[in-house]
Structures are given as C-alpha cells and as structure tokens.
Structure 1
Amino acid sequence: MNSTPNRQVFYGWKVVTALLVMLTFATGLSFYNHAVILNALAQQPAFTVQSASIAVSLFFLSGGVAGLWVARWVNDYDPRFCISFGALICGASLAGLALITKVWQLYVLYLIFGVGFSASNLVPATTLVTRWFHKKRAMALSIASTGLSLGGVIITPICAVLVESLGLGRAAPVMGLMYVAGVVPVSLIWLRPSPESMGLQPDDDQTSENETQGTLSSDPFGETSSNSAGDQVAQKVASQPVKSKLPAGVSFRDARRGRLFWAMSTAYIFLMMAQVGGISHQYGLARELLDESQTALVVAILPIASIVGRLAGGWVIEQLSIRSFAIGMMILQVVSLLLLSGGYNPFTLCLGLASFGITVGNLLMLQPLLIAEAFGVREYPRIFAVSNFMSSWGTASGPAALGLVYATSSNLYGAAYLLAAAAGLAGLALFLAGGPLKRS
C-alpha cells in the first residue's frame, strides 16, 4: 500500500531554534549583563565606574582576538564542543565574580570571560546558520539572532533582581550556573555541525538522506514514492558531490586581497562604535529628560524595536538587495543618533530610541550576511572572525569614547551622541567605498 506521510520539518529550523535559546542566555548573562555587574562592583570600595568600564573593554578585545582561534576550531571540528567549552569558561568566570577583591583580578577574569563568550556566541552561531541555509539564510539568521535582544529583555532583568536581592557575592554563582544550563544542553542535544552530517542539503531543497540510499525519491511538493531501481537517484546524487564537499566561495587569502573585505570590515569598526556606544549610554541620556521610573520604561524601547526590526529585516532582505538594505540601515542609524543628540523632548527621545533599535537589530545581523553573500561559505568562519575582530575595536572603544566626550561637555550627552552619529557616517562612507558585493 502506498502512503504519503507528512514531510518532517527541516532539521535546520531546529538548529535555528536551538541557537535562539543559546544566544538568549549567552547575551543576557554577558553583553547586556555588564551594566548590572559593573554597577554592583562600583558600590564596593575596591572598584570604581572607570575601572569597571575598562574591564568591559578588555572583555570585547579578548573576545575579538579569541574569535580568530575559535574560527579555526569551528571550521575543523564540531562546533558543539567549542560552544560547550566556551559556556563552561563563561560560567566559571561569572561565578568567579564572587571571589575577586582587587582591580587586577577583575581584569584577568574579564579577559577570560571574553574568550568564553567568543567561543559560545556569534562566530559558531553564524557559521552554523550559513552552513544550514543558503536561500533562506537571512530569515534563519534573523530568527536565531533575535536571541541577542531577547537576552536583554528576559535574562538580564532576572540577573538584576538576583543581584539586588542576594548581592553580587551570592548571585554570581547562580548566574554562572544559568549560563551553563542555558547553553550546554541545548547545544549538545539539538545542534549539528552541518546538513551534510545528517545526509541533508542546505535549505532542504535537494536530495534527502533516504534518496541517497536508493529507497525513496521526493518530488518538489514533499511527497514520496517508491523507487524500485534507484538508478535515477544514483545519477542525481552523483551529480552533486562537489557541492557538498567543496562549498562555494573564496579563500581568506583571496578575500583579503580585495578592497571589499577591508572596506566592509573597517566600516564595521565605526558602525559598532556608534551602536555599542549609543546603547551603553541610553540610560543616562534618558535621565536628562525623564525621572527614574519613566526612564526604566523608555529604555525598553530599544531592545523591543531591535527584535521587531530584526525579524522584519529578515523578510525584507529576501525581497531587496542586501547591499541596499544595509545602506538604508546605516543611514537610519545616523539619523536616529542625530535625533537623540538633540535632546529635544520625550517624544523625540522615544522616536530616536525606536529607530536606533531597528538599526541595532539589523546591522549586527547584516555583518555575517554580507560576508557570506560576498565571499561564500568556503572559509566563512575565518573571514568572519577576522572581520569581527576588527569590529571589536569599535565595540570596545564606543562606550569609553562617548563617556569621555560626555565628561568634557558639562556632563551632557548631546555632543557624545553627535560623535556616535559621526562614527556611523564614517562607517557608511567606508562601506560605500567597498563597491558592490562581488564573489570571486
């Protein structure tokens, strides 16, 4: 009797869901959690806001450097082991916050923390998405990277309550355990290194594992029928081995010889300087116009807009040129930062934070998409790691640069956000100088 069972959901979407959960815990306990941790440290006699801020810069710098090593590991071995190892480092680093009593100990701990964060965050996550998806890569990455914002909306407030109620000494081990529990199980159980490792193809649009065994053949609508000979299947499979074994794209050696790679990577130094600098000082900016309770509500606008913008962006990219969409987001970043620098009234503040949040959600997602579009997946981990290392310079310097301008401008944020807008404009100019996305 012939049967037509329902086609199973492509396993790549399970990978995307697992990455969303992983990134939610990873960023919620690290990237967005720095403000909570450093505020608690600054209340202790041994630490100041300035010394704690330097620790954050060391975190991003060590993460950028470690990303170069992480890329090789992810490229040569199963990414699940890299992610799990990184999560264990992060868990131990968070727990170690309960033991530090000196500034140098904080710096060493945050250097180690940054290494673990790099191994369990964007480099392995975006590598997996680029392997599992080609045609639907933008949508898949937009869903997975939503975890970057959800972490700030869900996990970080929990950490703030823990630190407030228990104190950093008792809350730190709990946060460390949360990192390990939220990242390691979901990674080991649901992540897989590539579709080929399961007998599948990217986007699930080619021969399935059953077909390669000569037992079943699939039509474009997902229905199955018996195959008595298997010759047609053998011919189809024989015509595809080069695709699976030799992914499309260029080597890092070839990528770095072109203007596009350097223009794109340098542009992201300034784009991330503007983005992370703007994010880190949004609370202080809002306090210039609002009271404490109003500010607590207003600062939620940015992460919410980031989530909505990223999901919408994943759909828009499939309809438009990715380069055109990226240019549009860079322009919107400059405009939103200029609006925030004006300090006009609460309405323009909210409008500026909402539009800025849309760019935050998309510009971070666009970096791996642009690299995959321009250079393919052949040596994507290494190419992205080097580009991400360069952008970490902007990530690390943004908060400090805006803070310095703030301190020299009568403790007002207008000039600081003008600097952020100028950095965003520089990033746009450099990106345009790279020319169109052309794969060698």
Structure 2
Amino acid sequence: MSRRWIAVAGVFLVLAAGTGVGFYATSAYVAALTGDRGFGLSLASSGPALSFVCAGLGGLLAARLLPRLGVRVLLPAGAAGTAAGLLLLGRTGSAWSLWLSFGLSGGVGALMAVVPCTSLITRWFAPDPAKALTIATTGMSAGGAVVPPFVVLLIERQGLATATVWLAVAVFGVVALVAAVIREPARPAQAVARVAAPVIPDPGRFTFPLLGAGFGLLMLSQVGAVAHVLTIAADRNIHGGALALTALAAASVGARLLGIPMLAGLGLLRFSCVVAAVQAAAMALLAVADDLRTLIAATALLGVTVGNAVVLMPLHMLTAFGMARFDRSYARLNVVSTIGTAGGPVVLGLMHDAFGGYRPALGVLAAGSGTAVALLLIARIDTTRRWRRPQRTSVS
C-alpha cells in the first residue's frame, strides 16, 4: 500500500475514534451525568454545546499550527486533549469541571479532527482529492455506527468513571499509532500549492460569506433534523423510529461512495446543488411523514446529504482558494459549519415551541436548505468549464 493510501486509512481510523467517542456518544454521557451524577438536563446538555464551539475555534488553531508542527505532532496532541477531557468527565461533580472536560475534548481535540486530517489528505492527493476525502471521512459515519453502542455498554457495566478511563486509553492509543505510521507528502508546501492552485483565480470578496452562509444553513438544518428524529416519531405516534436512524446511517455511508462518480460527472457546483436540493426535499417529506415508511424514506434522503456535505466543504475551499490558502479558509468554514451543527437542534426545538409543532418548523428548515442552493449558485464555485465564473486573463 502506498504512503498516501496509508494516510487515508489512518485518517479513517482517527475520525472514527474521535467522532465515535465524541460527537456521536454525547447522548450517552448526558444520560450518565443526569442519571448517576445528579446533573440537571440543561446543565449536562450545555457541555456538548460548549464542545462544538471550542471545536470550531480549535480548528482555527490547528490551521495556524499545521505549517509549523505538522500533522504527526498535532494528532497525538489532540488525542491527549481528548483523553484528558474524558478522564475529567468521568470524575466531574461540578459545573466548572463539566465545562472544562467538554472544552478540552472539543478545543484541544480539534487538533486531531477534520481540519488537520482533511489537510493531510488534500496535500497527498492534490489537485483532485475528492475520492480520497470521501473514503477517509467515511470514518466519521463508521465511528458513529460502531463506537456509541460500545460506549453505552461500557458505561452501563463499568460506570462513567471507569468507562472514560478505557475510552481515553483507546483513543490515545489509536491516534498515537496512526501518527507513528503515517507520513506527510515529500513535496514542499510551495510545490503542492502550485499543483492545487485555485480554479477561480479571483474568487471575489463575497465568495466566502456566500459559501459560509450556504453550508451553515445546510448543517443547521441537517443536524437539527437528525437530533429530533426520535422525538418527531414520538410526536406523531410512529413506532419503530430507531429504524429511521438506521436508514439514515446506512444511506450516509452508501451515498458517500455513490457520490464519487456523481461528483466527477456533474462537477462540484451541480453536485452540491443536487445535494442541497435533496436535503430540502428530505425536510419537506419529514414535515409531512405520518407513518414509519414515509419517515424512513425521509431520513434515508437526509442520509444522502449527511454522507456528502462534509466532503463538499473542503472541495469548495480548495477549488476557490487553492492549497496555499486551504488550511485557514477551511478552518474558517469549519467554524461556521460548527455553529450550525451546535445550533441546529436548539433552533428546531425553539421553532417547534413557537409554531406548536414540527411540521411548520421543518418547513422552515426545508426553505433554509433551498436557500443554500441559491447561495451556492450565486457563489458559482465549480470544477467544470461550463459552470465556472468567467475568468480574468491575468492575475496580479
């Protein structure tokens, strides 16, 4: 196996471990904190929200440190922060220690998250990293499917304090092993930057705000709906809501793999608009779903977008800004998408209370995903000649 595909396998494992014990296992931690430690639900839930915010800011730090330290240093540093947060979480008994534990896991843990991992794969496979990014980031979905049940079982049998020790050891061990095995590209950063120069030589001052708003809306709608699937099912007396989550996870993995040839055939812009339009349709179908079959169809459609949105964000940044500006531009976009991720469940819950039900609230989210289509079309960042913005013949 070549070094660059070893990097893909390593990033797959790192993202599976990080998101598995982090993002996807938060409900298990909240349940343990409220059930065994006596924390109120609002206080316990504030920890994951803080973790999302710190993760976005940590991504900015990772982008600044990458040129100086490299991925092989950042990965174990992020794993150490995640492990420290888990160990503190297992012994937390106060609000400040709760917030510190989630802050460490999110903020320092970002040093081993999507920004450095995506940067590594993009530099190895520049100027066309789409296939490799898709495979590598599938680790997040795999981690979400495999790790949380193990976390729940471990907490039930060993208790939160002991379980977090084992989880901390496992995460640090996996990431440290990956960091020891992977290598970074031998080409100098300047050479990689020339290979992956911007497709849009002058993207314009509004390009990043348009992309940030578009992907922020997509992530807000997407994560908000995913977080509320079971309560939507309960609200409508639909039994078997867990099957809808299974359909979502399966569609997420399958859509990532199918997205590779579709992206090559359609180009970045059209494929992105298709994904955003499918998400709008999924929200609309979820708004009217009154039986299990329709609910499963809606969540499967939503899974198609979950499987591809994460890949589309770095590809837009690489196409618009090139490798020379990729790390920092993607880190900034990651902050925006993280805010959407953190705010999605809250926004949908508030709209549910304001409108008196999920149907109008999900209709608003469908409109938000539709707005994302318009924003992407205005930005016009693409990899096919037909859809590219008219280029100037020279760049100063």
8 Å Cα contact 1:402-1:419 kept in structure 2: no
8 Å Cα contact 1:330-1:359 kept in structure 2: yes
| Residue 323 of structure 2 is aligned to residue 377 of structure 1 | yes
Letter in 1 for 2:3: Y
8 Å Cα contact 2:59-2:335 kept in structure 1: yes
Letter in 2 for 1:397: G
C-alpha change, 1:183 and 1:271, in structure 2 (3 Å) is: same
Q: 1:408 & 1:242 partners in 2: Cα distance?
A: 53
Tell me how far 1:356 sits from its aligned partner. Answer: 0.3
RMSD of the alignment, in Å?
2.4
SS of match in other structure, 2:22: coil
C-alpha change, 1:365 and 1:119, in structure 2 (3 Å) is: same
The aligned residue for residue 129 of structure 1 is: 121
The aligned residue for residue 259 of structure 1 is: 206
Tell me how far 1:406 sits from its aligned partner. Answer: 3.0
Letter in 2 for 1:194: P
8 Å Cα contact 1:264-1:434 kept in structure 2: yes
Q: 2:233 & 2:156 partners in 1: Cα distance?
A: 22
The aligned residue for residue 218 of structure 1 is: none
1:251-289 deviation line (CA, Å, top 9, x unaligned): xxx978522222111211111111111121222223345
- Equivalent position to 2:6, from 8, 14, 24: 14
The aligned residue for residue 420 of structure 1 is: 365
The aligned residue for residue 435 of structure 1 is: 380
C-alpha change, 1:135 and 1:248, in structure 2 (3 Å) is: closer
| Residue 197 of structure 2 is aligned to residue 249 of structure 1 | yes
The aligned residue for residue 279 of structure 1 is: 226
C-alpha change, 1:418 and 1:40, in structure 2 (3 Å) is: farther
The aligned residue for residue 187 of structure 2 is: 196
Tell me how far 1:306 sits from its aligned partner. Answer: 0.5
The aligned residue for residue 4 of structure 1 is: none
Q: 2:277 & 2:346 partners in 1: Cα distance?
A: 23
The aligned residue for residue 88 of structure 2 is: 96
The aligned residue for residue 386 of structure 2 is: none
Tell me how far 1:139 sits from its aligned partner. Answer: 0.8
| Residue 295 of structure 2 is aligned to residue 349 of structure 1 | yes
Tell me how far 1:130 sits from its aligned partner. Answer: 0.9
Tell me how far 1:103 sits from its aligned partner. Answer: 2.2
Query: In the TM superposition, what are the counterparts of 1:275-354 in structure 2 within 5 Å?
Result: 275-289=222-236, 294-354=240-300
Q: 1:374 & 1:384 partners in 2: Cα distance?
A: 11
8 Å Cα contact 2:268-2:381 kept in structure 1: no
The aligned residue for residue 26 of structure 1 is: 18
Letter in 2 for 1:392: T
1:290-317 deviation line (CA, Å, top 9, x unaligned): 677x333332111111011011112221
The aligned residue for residue 347 of structure 2 is: 401
Larger Rg: 1
Letter in 2 for 1:372: L
Query: In the TM superposition, what are the counterparts of 1:36-55 in structure 2 within 5 Å?
Result: 36-44=28-36, 46-55=38-47
Query: In the TM superposition, what are the counterparts of 1:98-247 in structure 2 within 5 Å?
Result: 98-134=90-126, 136-189=128-181, 191-196=182-187, 243-244=191-192, 246-247=194-195
How many residue pairs get aligned? The number is 384
TM-score, normalised via structure 2 length: 0.90
Letter in 2 for 1:270: L
Q: 1:245 & 1:351 partners in 2: Cα distance?
A: 42
8 Å Cα contact 1:302-1:354 kept in structure 2: yes
C-alpha change, 1:331 and 1:12, in structure 2 (3 Å) is: same
Q: 2:226 & 2:323 partners in 1: Cα distance?
A: 31
Q: 1:19 & 1:397 partners in 2: Cα distance?
A: 27
Q: Which has the higher helix share?
A: 2
SS of match in other structure, 1:258: coil
**Runs (5+) with no aligned partner, structure 1:** 1-8, 198-240
SS of match in other structure, 1:24: helix
**Runs (5+) with no aligned partner, structure 2:** 383-388
Single out whichever of 160-169 and 85-94 deviates more from structure 2. Answer: 160-169
8 Å Cα contact 1:249-1:379 kept in structure 2: no
The aligned residue for residue 233 of structure 1 is: none
- Percent of pairs with identical residues: 29
8 Å Cα contact 2:269-2:377 kept in structure 1: no
